[in-house]
Amino acid sequence: MTATTDGSAGAPTPHATSATTEPPTGTTPEAAGTHDAATRAIQRATDFLLARQDPQGWWKGDLETNVTMDAEDLLLRQFLGIRDKATTDAAALFIRGEQQEDGTWATFYGGPGELSTTVEAYVALRLAGDAPDDPHMARASAWIREQGGIAAARVFTRIWLALFGWWKWDDLPELPPELIYFPKWMPLNIYDFGCWARQTIVPLTIVSAKRPVRPAPFPLDELHTDPRDPNPVKPLAPLASWDGAFQRLDKVMHGYHKVALKRLRKAAMNDAARWIIERQENDGCWGGIQPPAVYSVIALHLLGYDLDHPVLKAGLESLDRFSVWREDGARMIEACQSPVWDTCLAAIALADAGLPGDHPSLIKAADWMMNEQIDRPGDWSVRRPSLEPGGWAFEFHNDNYPDIDDTAEVVLALRRVRHPDRARVDRAVEQAVRWNLGMQSRNGAWGAFDVDNTSPFPNRLPFCDFGEVIDPPSADVTGHVVEMLAIEGRSHDPRTRRGIEWLLAEQEADGSWFGRWGVNYVYGTGSVLPALVAAGLPTSHPAIRRAVTWLESVQNDDGGWGEDLRSYRYEEWRGRGASTASQTGWALMALLAAGERDSAAVERGIAYLVGTQTRDGTWDEPYFTGTGFPWDFSINYHLYRQVFPLTALGRYVHGEPPTGGAAARAEGS
C-alpha cells in the first residue's frame, strides 16, 4: 500500500450533513452565538477532512520532525555510492530553509539550536556543495565550535561521521553483536530496550563490529575546537556511580573487541542479520520507521548483501516512500508515517462532529482499519507468548510492532461507526480488547509497545544518548486504554480498576498528568480526564476538580492553550506556550468531559478555535505538539491541527460521546 506524499489523495467524498443542532435552552445570547459559530466551524472542518480521505478509506497527514532525517538520508546515499544530484539538491533546499538566524538547526519549531542536529545539517550541506566560508555555513560552524565541536555531539552523530573517517571508531562506545545471545532474563538483552531502540541497536552492533570507513570527500577541521586534539580525554565518573560503572564496562568492551573470537563474532553477526531480515516488513521497511531501516541497510550491506539483493532493494525502495516533495522542489524525509493513527482519530472527530455513523466515509474507514488488524505474533509476544494477537500498528506495514495506544483508539473509532457487518466489528473489537488487556504491565498501567519494559540499565549505556530507549507505562496510553475499556462496558473489571488507581496515583501535585507521547501536561491531562469520567468517576471527584483548576490556570489570554516542548526539561514551561489548535482541542476535550461545557474557560476556548480557523476549514499550526522522545525527538503531526479541534467542537455542540458497553452497542445497532 502506498501513501501519497501530502495525505490529500482522492476525490472529495460526498458529505451527508447532520441535522442542524440548536443551542441548549436557557443559554445566554453570548453562548448561543458561540454555539452557532462552532456549528459553522464544524461544517467547514468536516468538509475539509472528508475531502482528504484516500479512496481506500485512510487519512495520513505529513509527519514532520527535524533535518537529521534528511541529513542522514544523504549520508546513507553517500556511503552506499548512490547519491544523485537531484535528490541532493532537493534535500539541501529543505535543510537550508530550516536553518535559524543564528546559524543553527533546532529539533522543533521555535526551539533552541541543537548541536548534533546542526552538525549533521552542516555536513549534509557540505555534501551538497555549500562552501565552509558561505555566510550561512560560517555561522553554523562558529556556533558548533562554541558548543564544544563534534566531540560534544551525541553518539549517533559521531557514528555517522566515523563512517567517513571524520571520527575514530575507537572513540565511540562499543556495542558488541554478541548482545544478540543474551538470554531474555539477563540485563541488557535486546528485549530490555524499547522496540524502536531494539530495531536500531541490533543492526548497529554489526556496524560497530565492522567499523567501516569510506573515503571522506572533504575534511571537517572547522567543526573541531582544536583539530590537533579533536577528542580530549575526559575524566571518568566515580566508580560508585552508575555512569562510572558503565563507562568502565565500555572500556572492557573495547578490550573485548580486540580479542573477540572470530568464529563467535561471525556467528553473532550472522544471527543478528537473520534477526533483522526476519523483521523486514512486506513493504521492505523495518518497523515502519526510517532510522532502523537506514541502519539495517548499512549493516546488511557490510555483511555482503549487494544493492540488488531483494532485501536491500526493497529496503531502499521503502526509504523513498518516506519522501515528501514540496511545491518549491524541496524534499523532506518523514521519520515515520501515521495512517492508522490518523485514520482512527479522523473517524472519531467526524463522528463526534455529527457525521452519521453510517456515512460512507466512516464505513470505508472502518473497513480499512479492520483490514489492518494484525493477526500474527510479534516481538511483544516474547513477554506474552500465550497471548493471541489482535492489535493495530501505527503505520501502513508494521506487523511486528502493534501498539497499545493505536489499538485503543481504533476500538473507540469502530464503536462510533454503524457498520452493516456488526459481527465483523464485534470480532475485531473483541480480539483488540483481549490483546490490550493482556498487555497490561505489573503496575496496572500500559506502555506503548511492550509489557514491563522498565529496565533501568539501557538508559545508562554510554551508547544510548539519543533519547528514551525504554517503554515504561504512561498516563496518556493508560488513559486511552481505560477509556476504551469503559466504552466496552468493562469499567468494573479489576484490570480497569487497577489502571484507574494507577492514573490517580500518577496525578501531578498541580492537578495535571505527564504526557509521554504528546506535548505535554496538556496532552496527558486531555487523555486522562475523559477516561476517568467514562469509567464512572463523578465530575466532582477531587482529582477531576484539581485537573480542571490546573487547565483553567494555564489558559492563555487569547482563550487557547499551548505548551512548549521545553516543559519536558524546564518546570516553568509546564502548560505554557503559544496557543495551538491541537492543544486547545485537548484541553477542551478534558474540560467538556469534566462537565464544564457552560464555563467561561470552555466558551473562550471554543471562541479561540472558531476565530483562528482558516477559510478552508483547517488551522495553521507550525508548532510541534507530538512527542517521539521527550525533549530529544519531537513531531509535528500535520493532521493534529484538524482532528482534535474538530473533536472538541463536535463535543461542545453535540455533547459527549456515549459511554459504557450498552451505549456503544446501541450506537452501532
**Residues recognised as catalytic:** 405
Give the max Cα distance, the chain: 82
β-pairing, 63-64 vs 323-325, is unpaired
Rounded CA-CA distance 81/72 in Å is 14
Find residue 626's DSSP bridge partners: 518, 635
Question: Which cell goes with 83?
Answer: 547519491
Distant-in-sequence, close-in-space partners of 304: CB < 8 Å, separation ≥ 6 = none
The alpha carbon of residue 113 and the mean position of all alpha carbons in its chain are separated, in whole angstroms, by 21
Half-sphere exposure of residue 278: CA atoms within 13 angstroms, side-chain side:
10
Half-sphere exposure of residue 541: CA atoms within 13 angstroms, side-chain side:
18
The region that residue 329 occupies, defined by phi over 0 for left and psi between -120 and 50 for alpha, beta otherwise, is left
The alpha carbon of residue 556 and the mean position of all alpha carbons in its chain are separated, in whole angstroms, by 26
User: CA-CA-CA-CA torsion for 574, 580, 582, 584, nearest 10 degrees?
Assistant: 70
Yes or no: say if 362 and 350 are a contact pair by the CB < 8 Å rule.
yes
β-pairing, 626-629 vs 323-325, is unpaired
Q: Which of 540, 542, 549, 544 is nearest to 528 (CA)?
A: 544
Beta strands in 237-345 (DSSP E): 323-325, 331-333
Rounded CA-CA distance 410/423 in Å is 16
Written as one letter, the residue type at 354 is G
Class of residue 568 by CB neighbours under 10 A (exposed 0-12, middle 13-18, buried 19+): buried
- Alpha helix ranges (H) inside 28-84: 29-50, 68-80
- Look up cell 464503536; give the residue: 415
User: Quick one: which H or E segment has residue 141?
Assistant: helix 135-146
Rounded CA-CA distance 597/489 in Å is 25
Backbone φ and ψ of 605, nearest 5°: -65, -45
Yes or no: say if 527 and 589 are a contact pair by the CB < 8 Å rule.
no
Rounded CA-CA distance 292/194 in Å is 13
- Look up cell 545471545; give the residue: 181
Distant-in-sequence, close-in-space partners of 487: CB < 8 Å, separation ≥ 6 = 411, 412, 415, 534, 658, 659, 660, 661, 663, 664
Question: Which cell goes with 246?
Answer: 558503565
Find residue 289's DSSP bridge partners: 336
Q: Which of 407, 656, 404 is nearest to 529 (CA)?
A: 656
Question: Which cell goes with 315?
Answer: 529496503
